[in-house]
Chain A
Amino acid sequence: MASQRPGAPPSPNTDICPVCKTMRYLNRDLEFLINPECYHPMCANCVARIFADGPAQCPYAGCQKTLRKKAFKAAYFGNLAVEREVDIRRRVHAVFNKEEPDFESLADYNAYLEQVEELTFNLVSGNPDQRSKAEAEMRDWEAKHKSEIEERRRQARESEAQRLAREREAKDAARRRRLDAAREDAEEKARDAREREEILDTLATGDASHARATMQKVALKKRGQHRLDAARSSLLDAASSNLSIRGLKKDKKREAVDEGPYDPFGGLDLALQRYTLGPLDGYRNDWVDAARSRSDIVVGGYSAEEYLSRAMFEAFSGMGVFIEDEKGDGELATREAAQAAAATSDTAQKMDVDVFA
C-alpha cells in the first residue's frame, strides 16, 4: 500500500485490503467499499466484520471518523478523489438547483454559477477552515430557500415524468403512423387490382368509348382522393401531436436592451463647436480662386470646398489639447483630458527603441 498514491484505490493486481491484508490471491471475490465520510477503501469482509454491531470508528490509523455500515458503497470512479468530488457536486447541486430561466439576466445567472462553483471548490479542495465555512453557507442557503428548493425539485421530477410521457407518446405515434402507412399501402394495392379488373370487365363487355370514360373517371377520382387524404392526414397529425421542442424556453423573461442606433464613429460627436463654416464662397485667396476656376484642376475632381473645410478644421483642431497637463504627471484639467490620458498612457512606456544594441 505504501507504494500507491493516496486517493488511488487498490488496483486489481496488487489488491491487498489495507485493513485485514487479505489479497485477491486468497479471495477471488475481494470487493472494496468506501464510505463517503472519509473515502478510505476496505474490503467488504472487513466492513461486515467491523460495522456489523452498529457504528464504529474507521479502522485506518489516525482517522477519527465514525462510520455506519449503511453508507458504504462501491466506488464508481477509479480515482477516489474524483469519486469524492462527484459526490460533493451531487450534494451541492441538490441544494443549489436553480436554472437559467429562473434569472432575469444572464449576468445574474453567471454570478449565481460563480458563487456555487466557489462554494464547491472550497468544499472539494479548500482547507478545513474553508470547508467548514462552505458547509455552513450551504446549510444556511438550504434553510433559507427550503421551500424554493423543494418546489424546484418537484418541478424537476414532474418535468422528468412529463418528458418520459412525451417520449412514450412520440414512440406510440410513430408506431401508429407506420401501421397506417402499411395499411394504406395494402388498401391501395387492393384498389388498384380492383380497378384493373373493372376496366378489363368493361372492355370485355361494353364498347371502347365507354371504357375510356370509365378509365378517366377512375384516374381523376384516384388523384383527387389521394390529395385529399394526404391533406387530411397531415392536418390530423399536426392537431393530434401537441408539438413541442425540447430545450425551447416557454416564457421569455429576458428583454432585449435598447442600445440605440449603431454609431459608426464610436460616440465621436462630429458637430463642430469652435467655428461655424460660413458660405464657402466667402473664403478667398489666390490659390483657392485658381482652384475654383482653372479647368485643369476642377476636371480632376479637386474640390476647393474640401480644402477650405479641411483648412478651417485644422485651424481650430486641438486648440483645447493641453499636452503638458494631459501627458505630464500633474493634475488633469478636464474629464475628457483624463480619459484621453488614460487611453494613451500605456503607449509611452514602450518608447525605447534600440534595434541593434
Chain B
Amino acid sequence: MATEDARYRLSSQYRLWSFSPAKLRDLREKTNALVRPHITARLAELKPTEPAPEFLTAEEETVLLRFFTTELIRAAIHCDLPTEIRATAAVFLKRFYVTNSLMTYPPMDLIKTCLFFGGKAEGYFAKLSKLAEKLSDTTEEKILAGEFLLCQGIRFAFDVRHPFRGLEGAILELRRQEDIDKPRIDAAHQQAREILKVSPLLTDAYFHYAPSQIMLAALSLADRGLAERIINSAFAPTRREEAGRNADATATEMMHPTSSEIKEKVTAAIEACRDMLATEPPERMETYWGKAESLKLIRPLLKKLRRCRDPDKADLVELQRARREWAANASKEKEAGQDRKKTNAGLALGEPIGPNEPKRRKVTGPSAADDVFGGALGQ
C-alpha cells in the first residue's frame, strides 16, 4: 500500500466527506425528501388557507447551491480573503447542504458564517466586526448565529485538504527537470491555479476526488503534457516489480495490481475529474454567473425557494435565541420542579394548576439538542 494513499485515507475528508456520485445524489435526494413533509406541516399550521407550496427538487437545489457558491466566492474576493480560506468556506457550504436543505436554513446567512468560520479553520483569524462591516446587511450576531449549526452540519470535520499546495509541489518537481521550458511551466502554473480557485469549488470535485487528482486534472486542463509527466514519474515501475516480473507470479501480485494497472486507473480518474472541472472553467465566473442568462435560470428558483422556506428557521438569530431560551428554561424548570415537590408535599389535592404554559416551539426536544451530531433527519 502506498503510504501516500494510506495517509490520505486517514483524513476526515476521506472518511466522512468522500462519496461516489450515486451516493451523493442519494444523500441529497434523501435530504430533500425528508424536509418536505416537515415544512408542509408547519406551513399548514401557520397559514391554513393557503395550499402547500411547490418545493424545490434535489436537482434544483444543486443548481441553486452552485449559484450560492459563486456568491460566496464573490464575497470572499470582496473581503480580500486568501485563496485557501475562500476554498475552505466554499467546501464547508457545500458539505453543509449535503445533509441540510436550502429550504431549511437560509443560505445567504450561512455564506457569511462559512467565510468567518473558514478563516478560523485555516488559522487566519479575521476580525468579526470588520467582516460584518464589509458585507452588506450583516451584523456580528448574524454571522455567529449559524456557527455551531455549521459545525454540526460539517460533522466537525474542519480539516479540508486542498489541491493548492500539491500544485506547488508538482510545479517544483517540474522545474527540476532540465528539458522543459520555464515559460511553459509558468503559464501552466498560472492557469492551473486559476482553475483550482473556481472549478473544483463549483463542481462536486471535492466529494469525488482526492486533492492530488483534482490538482492533476487542473494541470492537465492547463497543459496536458506536463500532467502526464508527473503521472509517469509517479508510476514508473519500481525495481522490485521488475524483479518480480522475472520471477514467477505469486498470489500477492494478484492482490496488488501492478503499477501500470494503477496508472491506468489514475489516468482515468484524472480524465473524469478533468471533464468535471471543464464544465465550470474559471472564465464562467465572469461570463456566465451573474449575467442575464444565469439569472434567467436562477431567478425563478429563488422565487420558489422564498415560498417554500421553513418558516421556523428563516431567521437564524431568532432561532439561536429561542434555542438558548429553551435550554435555560429547561434547566430552570428542573430546579423549580424539585422545589415544587418540596412545598407541595403537604397539599392534599396535589399541585395547583398554574397559568397555561406558553406553547413551546416545535420539537426542540432534548434528544436533538443533546446529541452533538444532531438528531436523525427523519425526526
Decide if A351 touches B155 in the complex (CB within 8 Å): yes
A283, A285, A356 pick with most chain B CB within 10 angstroms: A356
- Contacting residue for A327 out of B18, B175, B256, CB 8 A: B18
Shortest CB-to-CB span from A243 to chain B, Å, is 55
A-B pairs under 8 A by CB, number: 210
Chain A, residues 322-357, CB within 8 Å of chain B (1/0): the string is: 111111111001111000100010011011111111
Of A54-62, A108-116, A130-138, A274-282, the segment with at least 4 beta carbons within 8 Å of chain B is A274-282
Q: How far is the CB of A306 from chain B (nearest CB, A)?
A: 12
Compute how far the CA of A357 lies from the CA of B312 in the bound complex, rounded to whole angstroms.
9
User: Which residues in chain B, 195-211, are within 8 Å of chain A measured between CB atoms?
Assistant: 207-211
What residues of B have a CB within 8 angstroms of the CB of A354 in the complex?
34-35, 99-100, 104, 374-375, 377, 379
- Complex-state Cα separation, A282 to B257, whole angstroms: 33
Encode contact with A along B193-236: 1 for CB under 8 Å, 0 otherwise.
00000000000000111111101100000000000001101110
A285 and B8 form a contact (CB under 8 A): no
A271–B3 CB distance below 8 A: yes
Task: Select which of A314, A323, A324, A352 is within 8 A of B166 by beta carbon.
Answer: A314
CA of A348 to CA of B104, assembled, Å: 21
Find A320's partner among B19, B163, B172, B262 (CB 8 Å cutoff).
B262
**Given A317-B8, A318-B4, A318-B213, are A274 and B18 neighbors across the interface (CB < 8 Å)?**
no
CB-based contact B363/A357 at 8 Å: yes
Question: Given A274-B4, A344-B15, A315–B22 Cβ distance below 8 Å?
Answer: no
In the bound complex, residues from chain A placing their C-beta under 8 Å from that of B255 are 334-335
A284, CB-defined interface residue at 8 Å: yes
Cβ-defined contact, B4 with A308, below 8 A? no
Q: Give the distance in Å from the alpha carbon of A329 to the alpha carbon of B30 in the complex.
A: 17
A319→B213 contact, CB < 8 A: yes
Q: Mark B96-135, 1 if CB is under 8 A from A, else 0.
A: 0011100010000000000000000000000000000000
Instruction: Kindly state the separation between the CA atoms of A334 and B5 in the bound complex, as whole angstroms.
Output: 12
Taking the closest CB of chain B, its distance from the CB of A96, in whole angstroms, is 43
> What separation, in Å, do the CA atoms of A313 and B167 have in the docked complex?
11
Whole-angstrom distance from the CB of B364 to the nearest CB of chain A? 7
Residue B152 CB within 8 A of the other chain: yes
Is the pair B169, A312 in contact by a Cβ cutoff of 8 Å?
yes
Pair B216/A348 contact, Cβ less than 8 Å: no
Whether the Cβ atoms of A352 and B99 lie closer than 8 Å is yes
Give the docked Cα–Cα distance between A330 and B23 (Å).
Answer: 11
B175 lies within 8 A of A285 (CB) = yes
B19 in contact with A322 (CB, 8 Å): no
Closest to A324 in B: B20
**A220: Cβ under 8 A from any B Cβ:** no
- Let me know if A268 is at the binding interface, CB within 8 A: yes
Max chain A C-beta neighbours (<10 A), residue from B14, B34, B98, B171:
B14
CB of B364 within 8 A of CB of A356, answer yes
- Interface residues in B15-70 by Cβ distance below 8 A to A read 15-16, 18-23, 27, 30-31, 34-35, 38
Determine the distance from Cα of A323 to Cα of B99 in the docked complex, in whole angstroms.
19
User: Does B256 contact A316, Cβ atoms closer than 8 Å?
Assistant: no
Residues of A near B262 (CB, < 8 A) are 320
Task: Determine whether the beta carbon of B374 is less than 8 Å from that of A353.
Answer: yes
Chain A: minimal CB distance from B359 (Å): 16
A311 within 8 A of B: yes
- CA A355 to CA B99, docked complex, whole Å: 11
Q: Identify which of A278, A315, A353 contacts B155 (C-beta below 8 A).
A: A353
- Does the CB pair A268–B100 fall under 8 Å? no
Contact B19 A348 (CB under 8 A): yes
Q: Is A213 an interface residue (CB 8 A)?
A: no
In the complex, whether A228 has a CB less than 8 A from a CB of chain B is no
B212 touches A318 (CB 8 A): yes
Task: Decide: A313 and B256 in contact? CB cutoff 8 A.
Answer: no
**Across the two chains, which residue of chain B brings its CB closest to A280?**
B172
Q: Are A315 and B20 in contact (CB under 8 A)?
A: no
A272 interface contact, C-beta 8 A? yes
Q: Which of A269, A315, A323, A330 contacts B170 (CB 8 A)?
A: A315
* Least Cβ–Cβ distance between A281 and chain B, in angstroms: 10
User: Does A193 make an interface contact (CB < 8 A)?
Assistant: no
> Which residue of the partner chain, among A273, A283, A344, contacts B3 with CB atoms under 8 Å?
A273
A274 partner, pick from B14, B15, B234, B323, beta carbons under 8 A? B234
How far, in whole Å, are A6 and B22 apart by their CA atoms in the complex?
Answer: 62
Contact digits for A91-109, partner B, Cβ 8 Å, 1 yes 0 no:
0000000000000000000
CB-contacts of B254-268 with A (<8 A): 255-257, 262, 265-266
A274 to B173 CA separation, bound complex (whole angstroms): 12
A320–B212 alpha-carbon span in the complex (Å): 9
**Considering only CB atoms, which chain B residue lies closest to A271 in the complex?**
B3
Q: Which of A268, A312, A313, A315 contacts B215 (CB 8 A)?
A: A315
- How long is the Cα–Cα vector from A268 to B10 in the complex, in angstroms? 11
Task: Report B377 CB to chain A, min CB distance, Å.
Answer: 3
Min CB distance A276 to B, Å, is 9
Q: How far is the CA of A324 from the CA of B209 in the complex (A)?
A: 8
Does A246 interact with chain B (Cβ within 8 Å)? no
Q: Nearest 10 CB-CB pairs, A to B?
A: A328-B20, A318-B210, A352-B377, A315-B169, A318-B8, A311-B169, A353-B374, A314-B166, A355-B374, A315-B166
Interface residue ranges, B against A (CB under 8 Å): 1-9, 14-16, 18-23, 27, 30-31, 34-35, 38, 98-100, 104, 149, 152-153, 155, 161, 163, 165-173, 175-176, 207-213, 215-216, 230-231, 233-235, 238, 255-257, 262, 265-266, 269, 312-313, 319, 323, 363-364, 368-369, 373-379
26 CB < 8 A contacts A-B:
A268-B3, A274-B234, A275-B173, A285-B172, A285-B175, A308-B172, A311-B169, A311-B172, A313-B4, A314-B166, A314-B169, A315-B230, A317-B210, A318-B161, A320-B2, A322-B269, A323-B18, A323-B207, A323-B208, A326-B18, A335-B255, A351-B98, A354-B379, A355-B369, A356-B368, A357-B375
A321-B9, A336-B5, A353-B374 are known contacts; what are 15 more A-B pairs with Cβ within 8 Å?
A274-B4, A311-B165, A318-B4, A320-B2, A320-B265, A323-B207, A323-B208, A340-B14, A344-B15, A348-B19, A351-B27, A351-B98, A352-B99, A354-B377, A356-B312
- A contact set with B: CB distance below 8 Å: 268-275, 278, 282-285, 288, 308, 310-330, 333-336, 340, 344, 347-348, 350-357
